[in-house]
Structure 1
Amino acid sequence: MREPLLLPPPATSKPTAMAILASLVVVVVALLLHFAASPISKPTYHDLFLSLSDNSTAARHLRALTLRPHVASSAADAAVAAYVLSALSALPAHSASYGVLLSFPVRRSLSLAPSPSAPAAPFDLVQEVYPGDPYAAAAAEAIPTFHAFAASGAVAGPVAYANYGRVEDFEALVSLGVNLTGAVVLARYGKIYRGDIVRNAQDAGAAATVIYTDAKDYGGGAAGKPFPEGPWMPPSGVQIGSTYRGLGDPTTPGWACATGAGDGDGGECERWSVAEVAASGLVPGIPSLPVSARDGEAIHRTIGGRMAPDEWQGEEGSPVYRLGPGPGILNLTYMGNETIATIQNVFAVIEGKEEPDRFVLLGNHRDAWTFGAVDPNSGTAALLELAQRLWKLQKRGWTPRRTIVLCSWDAEEYGLIGSTEWVEENREMLSSRAVAYLNVDSAVAGPGFYSYATPQLDELIIDASKKVQDPDNSSQTLYESWIGSGNSPTIGRLGGGGTDFAAFVQHVGVPSVDIAFGEGYPVYHSLYDDFMWMEKFGDPMFHRHVAAASIWGLVALRLADDEILPFDYVSYALELQESTREIQHDVLGTPVSFSPLFKSIRELKSAATEINAEKKALEREIWGIKLEKNPLKVRELNDRLMMAERAFTDREGLCGRQWYKHLIYGPSQHNDYGSKSFPGIDDAIDEAKKSNASESWRFVQHEVYRVARAVTRASLVLKGKFT
């Protein structure tokens, strides 16, 4: 061993006054240079963003966006895309096209006979234009009422009533001895995704499905006034929608098919045939149609048999609902056309200065089944108003630290097709460079602020809500109204598949947010979702549109401008812990152990606490002045915060649903709109309860281990160290 080198002791002389003064001069000069380089601070720009709001801009955009019905790939949809492209062109903007399978009605009919021997009377299947409707001429362009991707066919059978068409509703019918084989199931909208209603009816042996908008749910009850006198669905109103249970183009599952110049059909691209799509089980195998409350009530009057349970009944004054089947007979014919059509996504990019290769994405879909004033163009109007504010900030010298991308998606209504195709095409870029995705679909449907997020973004949303005025009470902030009941703010999770965040969260693992004002609205997906409904009932002063753009933009600015990303994984760990306790309680008395998952969650909490301490250590101050940080250290720490969400995904995906990669958040197997924590574990438990076989409970244990491994991976990413 080499002998250590002995150094002389250091000098003990004290620093001179001149040396101290020189040090102070260096510090002052450094501070002056710092402030000279940043004449306006980022928070000041954020305050300026909030002050630039303009409700007249949002109203003007919404009116222009909703002049005509604009279903995906239609000429009117292309015109709306051109409008959005023009409105974003100052940033600048571009579009990307895809050739995808869409579904359109060719022929449909529905007739009802009160008994097998009686003549059948046809339904007109038309949504009525009310007297004085300013959009009466444009309403003639609306697509006929139908279910996209419904199976073509002609069916006649006795009617049976299945409430909301949930799994538990069909189980109740079985327990009551109601045989649905060959029947036409009548179900009402309101609880689960329509595609799951049709799938459940098919599994029960039904030959076809008719889904109606019950006045109890959409008509406002006995005192409810239908549009245009009130906000409620008129008796002839029909909810159109898709029954496709997948995401993205059905013919390119897991990959994209972008069109080139002149490639209106998608060009040379590997595709499934329509027959292969049908065999996938993601589209129904039986025909279906949506009908109005008035038509649904007429069908109910012909159903006999046992009286339906009290909770299955309609509003006061409705006919008594019975289960059937029969004696009423429904004759249903539907012929559809599934064809490759071109859709367009539109983008605007504001390039970041310090980290141009890190992306904060904001998205809203543009296509609508009819006029789409609420769904989705209240969100499009908010996006364009937000974009105008960002452009004004740029004119005053602001540039974001990271790149901001504004996204206008097409064909969302058919199955999140536009956003999913783009995510699949850009999966590797998004996996390595996307900071977060911020979604708004129906930005404004009424009062009340609702938010959903992956948990590390909760505090960011709460902080933003403290700076945005409540559009319905100018004396308080959104946060103050949010907690007005004395409760903590409730932020939902992003496990459902109802809108465009799904591909980002559930396929790639990008931290995401979804926000809205109002929760549901009566004229959803009907002819009456027009500018007049919004102006009279949804947002008469367009203050909610402004508030939506404000909180959406403020969250984006924080993510784009904060030197250290405002992510907090401690709350994530605490929520996973609580979710695990809940699912553990569901399987008490079984051989399943959740100890591996609890252990991995404790590790995640420890890693999250450690990285929070690292963040504080980097944010040092002297005399209230923040010191410059080591940029490489900041970058490395931000990458760990950004990438931890990816670790919750698994390349194999959920069992039987491989496209869904996220093991923490995913849709319910029986309701695409529903959000489930630990969807793989939940699916396995459902199957194990049905069979109660030891092998099925071993598979539940396997799923627990899979999630535990994913949580452990997230901990390692946060720590930034190999094992």
Structure 2
Amino acid sequence: MVDPEKQPKVPVGYAQTKQARSCSIKRGLGIVGMALVAWWFLGRWTTGEHENVAPPLDVKEREKLFLSIPNGESIQATAKTFATHPHLAGSSQDFTDAKTMLKLFQDELGIRTPRSEPIFPAGTPKSRAATIALTEPYRSRSPTAWIDVYYPELDNPLGRSLDLLNEEGKSTWSVDLAEDGDPLDEDAFEYRDFIPAWHGFSGHGEAEGSLIYVNYGTKEIKRAEELGAAGVLLFSDPRDDGYVTVQNGFTAYPHGPARNPTSIQRGSAVYLSQQPGDPTTPGYPAYEHAKREKPTSIPKIPSLPISWKNAQRLLEEIEDIYADGTIINGRRRLSGKSSEAKVRMVNHVEYKITPIWNAMAAIPGHVKDEVVIIGCHRDAWVLGGADPISGTAALHEIVRGYGELLKQGWKPLRTILIASWDAEEHGLVGSTEYGEDFAEWISEHAVAYINVDVASSGSRWNVYGSPSLAHLIRNTALDVPHPVSKGKTLWDARDDEGPFKLNGSARVDVEYITNYERMEAKSAASKTGVSPLGSGSDYTVFLQRLGVASTDQGFGGTPYDAPYHYHSIYDSVRWQEVYADPGYHRHAAVARHLGLMAMRLTDSVIIPLNTTQYAFELEDYADSVERLALESKSSVNLSKLRSSISSLQKASIALDNEKAEAEEKFKDALSKLPHFPRCRAKFFAQVANWVKYFLGIRTSEPAEYFHPNRWEEYLSHQILDHEDVDLPKNPIFEFIKAAKRVSRANKKLIAFERGFVSEGGIKDREWYKHLGVAPGKWLGYGATTFPALSEAIAIDRDLTAARHEVARLVELLDKLAEQTGNFENK
């Protein structure tokens, strides 16, 4: 830490208390940072005629250089570094991977390796400072990297069994609960027994009873428990694999593209739509010695994942799982029959406090109080070739690209925070604990959160995000080449199909294709091509609790792709290279899009958030509510809600005009600044003298006392506490006024998403605070817009509650409109 007593002193023209100074600096930090934009722009647009140093790259050159960095060889190396061994959250392999990621951050960003490893237990001063100091005025200007250690309560499997019983209660068949691990996939073969097939956060216990088939069972373990089920068995059915099935003549993996019948989908049993993160520390961070609460978001009944091969045998015990051949709305009617034979299941798990490791890196920007966050989780159920190492490889390519830009003299306008999250698979634990730990800091400083998880598991590019990011997502995708088709862009990849061509006799399950066509129609109806975010990955805490505009993306499967062996040992490097992304071209495209989008969020003077798109999309949310009300025969008056939406639209259009004018004034003021001097220290000394002259401070103090790396402090004290004073008609002061106006517009753009956050949250799952969008209560990861209102109508069927939710939305939107459209003190 720098000793302030050893730094050159800065003259202060009036007394300030420590608290006042702190408030002054915090209040003015964004504006002071914007003053640094002068240096940032001038360093790019003007160069002293006698200087020999090559000027930094301009915007187009920076973007061209960045797009050239991601490549298949580098991505393959990252994949083999992380996805050729198991790395379950909290394991020794996971810790090793966290340190490997830390080393990658250090190497790529030119960070010196410190004497002691920067691994900090969460909640300690060093952990707190690593994040909070990023936005402090005297923070180091060099990139940093560290690891935060959280201590959630996680479970590990002890004993599991599943037996079919005869009338005497004796086992007639024991299910193997294992995957075959074909040696053709060497990594899957080597680690076939390394991670047992079980559910994270599952209920500890034993159960015995008859079998009953519930089809998709979309309400899964939570609703089964509520209805009195003794236990739950889950399996992946090949009928959801589209056309690429053994039934249609394809060979099973690893000898062909069809699903391996022994593959098992592990996963988390946590009630994610109720709350993510550590169930024993709801709403606050899982420090090592945190107070623990009795969890309410995990099941009490046991559950086990099983393979399709074993599920087939068990289903034979139920004579007819369907009532008849009738199909209603694309769904078969279930018989509701149960088996005569019973099964006994055992799921013994041990819950214990377990360390997890978030590997973090930061690139400080000129505007320190605005931060763009990029993240991907690192842990996997087994090997994680697609989930999450395809995303981790893409993240590494972004870091490599930024590292190369730094070597070329680039420094971002805003700060960039990069995260390799841990324990996502158990229930978004690492990101959630970080978000709860630094909630106030994130709410104050985060511009946007950019997520990647599965970068590649199929042929079609899928993208999700806040409506305010939709235009940026699309425009950036139009500037990224298509990964495999020349002459096309990444945006065109939204319509790509898989490679497997079929003959006329190929069959596909009617329920699967009905669901698929519904999703296709919903996507086609989108006005932006960007779907809303529900949950299921690490953006959840940022968007759904803290109100940070967020996005997620990746290539997924279609009916013509090889089935993805989700959370199986066969989610491997070999499967990725043979079927999902030969050559890693899709990985590279995702890296290019994410990194370029983050650069545009980082380096644009006006943050490219489109609040007007958001405001108009709310009309679609209201239309959806009216359809639900019609279907449930509820009479809900939405006229006041629509009026509030209209007011917000007008306010947002006014903000559009304000930000355009602010940017124009800023660029005009920038063009009138003095030519960028060769001697930066001399230039800053001149700034100091101008300020002192204006404030009536004597200028006799030697110029060398004005430390060039601390001029933000000087401006904080001398200018920003005099906001009501008319500045002289000097180019420097005109620029500062323009920068302040830009900063005010940017703060309104950032605050727009925050405006949907209600402290009261959503009924029965108050952890979720966003009243605009949330994961549906019974939709798994799927999004529900106006969630509290929609669920009051469709699920609770409570008209009084629905009217209350309308009133809450009206109050929230009216307040947001007032904040968005108020431009006093231009």
Which of 531, 551, 570 aligns to 1:492? It is 531
Q: Does 1:286 align with 2:301?
A: yes
For each residue in 1:57-82, what CA deviation from the matched residue of structure 2 results, as whole angstroms up to 9, or x when unmatched? 11110111112111101111111111
| CA positional deviation for 1:83 | 1.3
Contact 2:195 2:381 survives alignment (8 Å) = yes
Q: Does 1:146 align with 2:188?
A: no
Quick one: which amino acid aligns to residue 698 of structure 1? Answer: T
TM-score by length of 2: 0.73
Quick one: which amino acid aligns to residue 502 of structure 1? Answer: T
Q: Does 1:514 align with 2:527?
A: no
Quick one: which amino acid aligns to residue 602 of structure 1? Answer: S
Quick one: which amino acid aligns to residue 387 of structure 1? Answer: V
Distance (Å, rounded) in 2 between the aligned partners of 1:127 and 1:585: 45
Shift in CA distance, 232/322, structure 1 to aligned 2, threshold 3 Å: farther
Q: Does 1:324 align with 2:341?
A: no
Quick one: which amino acid aligns to residue 330 of structure 1? Answer: V
Distance (Å, rounded) in 1 between the aligned partners of 2:201 and 2:267: 9
Structure 1, unaligned runs of 5 or more = 1-29, 167-195, 259-265, 314-319, 690-695
| CA positional deviation for 1:203 | 1.9
For each residue in 1:470-516, what CA deviation from the matched residue of structure 2 results, as whole angstroms up to 9, or x when unmatched? 0020221113444799986521111x220000000001000111111
| CA positional deviation for 1:715 | 1.6
Distance (Å, rounded) in 2 between the aligned partners of 1:115 and 1:229: 41
Distance (Å, rounded) in 2 between the aligned partners of 1:409 and 1:623: 39
Distance (Å, rounded) in 2 between the aligned partners of 1:682 and 1:577: 14
* Partner SS, residue 432 of structure 2: helix
Shift in CA distance, 141/210, structure 1 to aligned 2, threshold 3 Å: closer
Q: Does 1:269 align with 2:275?
A: no
Name the residue aligned to 1:672: 780
Distance (Å, rounded) in 2 between the aligned partners of 1:151 and 1:659: 22
Name the residue aligned to 1:598: 642
Equivalent residue pairs, number = 636
Shift in CA distance, 33/129, structure 1 to aligned 2, threshold 3 Å: closer
Shift in CA distance, 566/52, structure 1 to aligned 2, threshold 3 Å: same
* Partner SS, residue 513 of structure 1: strand
Quick one: which amino acid aligns to residue 699 of structure 1? Answer: A
Contact 1:303 1:322 survives alignment (8 Å) = no
Distance (Å, rounded) in 1 between the aligned partners of 2:493 and 2:263: 33
Name the residue aligned to 2:91: 74
| CA positional deviation for 1:465 | 0.7
For each residue in 1:117-148, what CA deviation from the matched residue of structure 2 results, as whole angstroms up to 9, or x when unmatched? 78521011111111333225641563110112
TM-score by length of 1: 0.84
* Partner SS, residue 333 of structure 1: strand
For each residue in 1:501-535, what CA deviation from the matched residue of structure 2 results, as whole angstroms up to 9, or x when unmatched? 00000010001111111248520000100110111
Distance (Å, rounded) in 1 between the aligned partners of 2:466 and 2:412: 23
Name the residue aligned to 1:576: 618
| CA positional deviation for 1:717 | 2.5
More helix, by proportion: 2
Distance (Å, rounded) in 1 between the aligned partners of 2:42 and 2:199: 64
Q: Does 1:411 align with 2:448?
A: no
Shift in CA distance, 308/626, structure 1 to aligned 2, threshold 3 Å: farther
Distance (Å, rounded) in 1 between the aligned partners of 2:494 and 2:346: 48
Q: Does 1:252 align with 2:294?
A: no
Residues 398-407 or 153-162, more deviating: 153-162
Distance (Å, rounded) in 2 between the aligned partners of 1:156 and 1:704: 46
| CA positional deviation for 1:234 | 0.7
Name the residue aligned to 2:252: 226
Shift in CA distance, 483/62, structure 1 to aligned 2, threshold 3 Å: closer
Distance (Å, rounded) in 1 between the aligned partners of 2:44 and 2:162: 76
Name which structure has the greater RCO, CA cutoff 8 Å, separation 6+. Answer: 2
Shift in CA distance, 97/141, structure 1 to aligned 2, threshold 3 Å: farther
Shift in CA distance, 511/489, structure 1 to aligned 2, threshold 3 Å: closer
Distance (Å, rounded) in 2 between the aligned partners of 1:623 and 1:562: 12
Q: Does 1:587 align with 2:600?
A: no
| CA positional deviation for 1:615 | 2.2
Distance (Å, rounded) in 1 between the aligned partners of 2:62 and 2:336: 61
Which of 230, 236, 240 aligns to 1:217? It is 240
Which of 168, 174, 179 aligns to 1:122? It is 174
Let me know the Cα RMSD of the aligned residues: 2.6
Contact 2:605 2:663 survives alignment (8 Å) = no
Q: Does 1:503 align with 2:503?
A: no
Q: Does 1:662 align with 2:770?
A: yes
Name the residue aligned to 2:225: 202
Contact 1:69 1:138 survives alignment (8 Å) = no
For each residue in 1:403-430, what CA deviation from the matched residue of structure 2 results, as whole angstroms up to 9, or x when unmatched? 0011000000001000000000000000
Distance (Å, rounded) in 1 between the aligned partners of 2:602 and 2:570: 38
Shift in CA distance, 117/500, structure 1 to aligned 2, threshold 3 Å: closer
Contact 2:548 2:754 survives alignment (8 Å) = yes
Q: Does 1:613 align with 2:657?
A: yes
For each residue in 1:517-575, what CA deviation from the matched residue of structure 2 results, as whole angstroms up to 9, or x when unmatched? 12485200001001101111111111111101000001100000000011111111121
Name the residue aligned to 1:14: none
For each residue in 1:594-641, what CA deviation from the matched residue of structure 2 results, as whole angstroms up to 9, or x when unmatched? 112101110111011111112222343999998576111111110010
* Partner SS, residue 435 of structure 1: strand
Contact 1:63 1:531 survives alignment (8 Å) = yes
